[in-house]
Amino acid sequence: MKFNNIKHVYFDLDHTLWDFDKNSSLTFDVIFKEENIEIEIQDFLNTYIPININYWARYRNNLVSKEMLRIGRLRDSFDALGIQISDEAIDNLSNRYISVLPDFNHLLQDTIEILEYLKPKYKLHIITNGFEEIQHNKMQNSQIADYFDTITTSEEAGVKKPHLEIFEKALQKSNAAPENSIMIGDSYEADIEGAKNAGLHALYFDYYGKLETLQVPQVQKLKDLRMYL
């Protein structure tokens, strides 16, 4: 089933095109060595990842600030692991994480292939809840920035996905009509429900292989977007 009359394709960035999990793991490996924190990265990530996901969900809904997210996810992870670490070290790790993360540029499988396929046919855009100061660097360093006509971040829009205003901001920037636009992302709440509420079409990228029965088309591999676009 092909989507008809689509002119603008909006992508989420992290977990959709940019391999956040791999790049984040590599970042922690670097900064933990800098701080002489001796812990197996996978042991840390097993604790950190669900805590981080919870913080981001609360951040999307304005229940925690950006600063609370940056500090709290690390503090809670070390506390859960029973590792004593000073507030100063937590603050330094948080700053170094934001600084080092864009230096890694691994993309998810088929990212370049699908962007090359879509670019001649559509205007491509990014809508992301990621921090303003690093999302542009991620795209530049991974050499995908030139595929996109616009990048809309939550900090620029003043609200985060799934809130209506960020999609309206992105449509305005790209001079697009919602009925001619489609959103592709890995978060059903933020990307899919948010886009549909703003009048866009939506396609769910089942990055974690949840295989849920949903009311929108979904793919598990980026290259399978060709079935719809």
Q: What is the pLDDT of residue 130?
A: 87
The ranges of the chain with pLDDT < 50 are none
Domain range list for the chain: 8-19+107-227, 20-103
Task: Tell me the C-alpha distance between 78 and 194, whole Å.
Answer: 33
Buried b (16+ CB within 10 A) or exposed e, 186-216: bbbebbbebbbebebbbbbbebeeeeeeeee
Kindly state the DSSP code that residue 207 receives in the 8-state scheme.
T
pLDDT at 217: 94
**Tokens coding 65:** 């600030």
When the candidates are 1.10.3720.10, 1.10.10.10, 1.10.260.40, 1.10.150.240, the CATH number that belongs to 20-103 is 1.10.150.240
What pLDDT is stored for residue 102 in this prediction? 95
pLDDT score at 215 = 83
Same fold, 8-19+107-227 and 20-103: no
The packing angle between helices 66-80 and 87-100, to 10°, is 120
> So what's the pLDDT on residue 145?
97
Please report the pLDDT score of residue 85 as a whole number. 92
At the topology level, CATH places domain 8-19+107-227 in: Rossmann fold (3.40.50)
Q: Is residue 78 within 8 Å of 37, Cβ to Cβ?
A: no
Is the entire prediction scored with pTM above 0.85? yes
CA distance 221 to 129: 22
